[in-house]
Every structure is written in C-alpha cells, then in structure tokens.
Chains A and B, each alone.
Chain A
C-alpha cells in the first residue's frame, strides 16, 4: 500500500510538480494520492515508481523522518537536496546497524561568538594550535556523517543538520575543506558559520605566534600552504587580525589575484572503510541500494567523489571535480 508522504518525498527528490509527475507517469489524481484521499491501484503505483526512478517498494515503506537543514547559500534545489538528505537517513541507519562508527562529539553551545566557538571546539578535540587535518576525516572522527551533495542538486550548496542526536553534513567533495568547516560551525550553533570556519581553519593565537607582522606575499603563500587554506583566505584573516596593514593587504591581494588555487578535494575515510569491508563480504552497492529500496544511482549520488571504491559495472568513483 502506497505511503503518501513517500510519494511526495520521491517526487520532490526528482524536482517534479504533481502535475509534471502525472503527465510523466500517465496517471491522474497524483495530488489525491499524496494527500491520502485516494489509494492507487498496484498498477498505478508501479507507473508512479517507474516515472520517479524509484523501486515500487520504496513508495510503500514506512514514513521517512523529516529534517530541517541549514544551508550555506540561497541557491535553488533546496527541496531536492533536503529530500536527498532524508533518503540518506535510511542509508545512515543501515550503516549504524552494521558498523560501529564514531560517536557524535559536536556540542552545541549557547550564544558563543564564532571565534570563541572555534577555539572551544579545537580545545575539546585536542588540536588547539595545529593546522587542521583533512576536514572530512576530522568530522567523521567526531561522529558527523558526511555525504556528498548529489550532483543533481548541487545548486543548493552545502548543508547540515542533526537527526536523533547525530550530526549530518552534505558537501561537494571537490571543494570540501571550507564547506566542512562552515557546516561544523553551523552544527555548533554559532551565529556566523563563515566566521567560525575562518577561526577554525586559521586559529588566532597560532597565527599571532607564527606569522610575522605584515608578511610579504611569498610569506603569505608559504603560511597558507601550511594551514591548508588559499593564500587569499589567509591574507583576509591576517588583515582581520591586524597582522596585515590595509595598504599591504591590498598589495598582497592584488598579487594573489593572478594565482590559481584549485580547491582541495577530500574523500571519506569512513565510507571508504565501510565499502572496503562490505566488498570483502561480497556486499556490493547494488545490494545496499536494493535493501534500502533505492536505485543504485541514488546511492551513488550520496557517495559521489567521496569514496574510492568499485562501482557496479566496473566503474570507479574517483575524486574528479564536478565543476
């Protein structure tokens, strides 16, 4: 029997209106099915499922919990991205049932300013003054479930939320470092995730201790490489901290404007270990997708670029930037 909310979820995931779905499936009364006013016949459910690209059993499962994500940008596709996140909950639950994963350790503080929150979190995680490691790994090690922002809703931009006490972050792996830090800030409840990310990736006390006052452009480049940020991001941070006077900040930025700094691609250590273990037991992504009543492409969208593992058909997920 069709679960009305699942029909809405699947339709939203595909970015279709009820009328568009009706036309695509050749079915009338989609709104009635979604609101539970009528029940479709099995043949109609099959048509709807086929039009949506979901296995029919997906439309007949239990209610899927709602989530309330916070987005970095105000781009399109937010509804589609939120739908993808609700589907990811099922995958996360499947993982938790089969693997012991790190417990969540991302506290929420009441009214901390971003600088304080970043300093507190670094202290809690035992990394007060060091450059941050691969951010996706750092989040995963502290219980954040990190997934890829599916390519078909990339316009929504990175986002995060908590569900049943577990933090979730959805990122573009091709440009994950800053985004991961921003979503971390959002999860801690700071007022300004962007400021949190700057403070977390470039801690004030460590910069004051290690960067000379008014560094020249070459020094900014070298220190930026140490901290894993773009030289421009470091220049702005040094300016904000009073370590780079306004005129010199302008000169450094003008010099850096000619540079090209490709975004840093990050992959998931957790998901790579999971799929490696599954493969050793003969479990393929197809099996996982089937268990979740998802198309395998739906699952792949959540892993896109995050996992270096074999895909069905002999392809490999590789960290190729999507832009």
Chain B
C-alpha cells in the first residue's frame, strides 16, 4: 500500500499514524534530535560520525517521547525498538535511500538487517486487510521510521516515512514493504550568513 507523494501533511497521514498510536510530532522530535546531533559531529571525527550520532539521538529521542506516553523500550539484541502499550506495534528506526518518502520509487534500507530485526519481521504479514488482523499475544508488527538525509549546499532535508517491511531474511537489505506511510520531507534551513551590524557614529564637536 502506498500514499500519494504529498508535499504537506494531510488528514490521511495523521489518521494512518494514529492507527499505530503515533503522531507526526513524535517523528519530528526524533528527526530533529538526529539532525541536531549530526551537525555537532567533530570535523575530524570518523566519516560515519555524523550518521552515527544522528542514529543514536534519533533512536533516543523517539523512545524518549514514546516511553513518556506509555510505550516500552525493547533493548533485546540492541535493536533500539519501542513497543506500544496495547497495540501490536513495535517501532524502530531505519536509514532508507533517496526513494524514502516517495511512494512511486523503490525504497530500500541502506544496511542489511541483523538477526534481531529479521526475527521481529517474521510477524509482518502483508496479506492482512487491516494492520492488526494477525495480532496475537506474541506476534507483533514491526514498523520503521525510515529516514534519509539529503545535504545540498547548507540546506539539510530529511526524507521520511513510517513503513512496515515484509519479512526479510537476516543479512539482506529490506526492499519489500507491506505498508508505506510516506510523509513530506522535513526541511532544515541553512546556517545564516554572518552579518555585521551597521555601526553608528557618535558626533562630538569641540565648542569654540
């Protein structure tokens, strides 16, 4: 299932996220925290430093805002997931590709997934008519906040969607999706050019 390539948020976006117990501001908080941390990477740090910081803070903030609303963090196998208190939803984060957020383009994860994510994805069933038809006590649907950062000049844009992958074997990239809730990109403006304040002259004249 795909959604139109929206340029702004619609009621449909909000409704579909609400089915998962999510709001757009949950996602924005996490994405913002990731970009905020990304820009703090030291210039001589490892080349993947910015991305690593982005991931650490994106996961951290996503779980911070959701745990505050009753979700539970899931740390098994260091997967960095968070579980809804009543719905059969487990949410993680995933780095996508340039197709992220575009329902007409092939989305795939940037990295192959490990055993934890592969195991969690076994419960995902793309044949269900509703998101939760196959729910039972031990069968959770794994969803991802999928993001991809595009850096052009000084401007940072984060492509984003919330999507449910089809079961994918361990060691393979995720490129088949049961559901995609594609969202408009999140823009971060450029750093401002340095402006010098216009100085004033204080006239002083000797009285004759």
A residues near B (Cβ < 8 Å) are: 97-102, 127, 130-134, 137-138, 140-141, 210-212, 214-219, 222-223, 225-226, 228, 245, 247-248, 251-252, 255, 269-270, 273-274, 277
Contact = CB atoms under 8 A, between A and B. Distances in A.
A18 B198 CA distance: 51
B55 to A, nearest CB: 16
A280 B29 CA distance: 62
Interface SS majority for chain A: helix
B192 A133 contact: no
B207 interface: yes
Interface string B94-113: 00000000000000000000
B202 interface: yes
A137 B207 contact: no
Interface in B1-51: 28-29, 32-33, 35-36, 39-40
A226 B199 contact: no
B202 A100 contact: no
Interface of B: 28-29, 32-33, 35-36, 39-40, 61, 65, 187-189, 191-192, 194-195, 197-207
Given A132-B197, A133-B197, 16 more contacts: A100-B206, A100-B207, A102-B203, A130-B198, A133-B200, A137-B199, A216-B36, A218-B191, A223-B192, A226-B194, A248-B36, A251-B61, A269-B201, A270-B202, A277-B204, A277-B206
Contacts of A133: 197-200
A212 B201 contact: no
B204 A255 contact: no
Contacts of B187: 212
B186 to A, nearest CB: 9
B36 A101 contact: no
Contacts of B197: 130-134, 228
A273 B40 contact: no
14 contacts: A100-B203, A100-B204, A101-B204, A127-B198, A133-B197, A134-B199, A137-B200, A138-B200, A215-B189, A218-B191, A222-B191, A225-B194, A226-B194, A274-B204
A226 B39 contact: no
A214 B39 contact: no
Nearest to B25: A245
Contacts of A210: 192
B200 to A, nearest CB: 5
Q: List 4 tightest A-B contacts by C-beta distance, closest first.
A: A212-B189, A216-B36, A273-B204, A218-B39
A210 B205 CA distance: 39
A251 B29 CA distance: 11
A87 B202 CA distance: 24
A245 B36 CA distance: 14
Contacts of A270: 202, 204
Given A130-B198, A226-B192, A97 B39 contact: no
B202 A140 contact: yes
B174 to A, nearest CB: 28
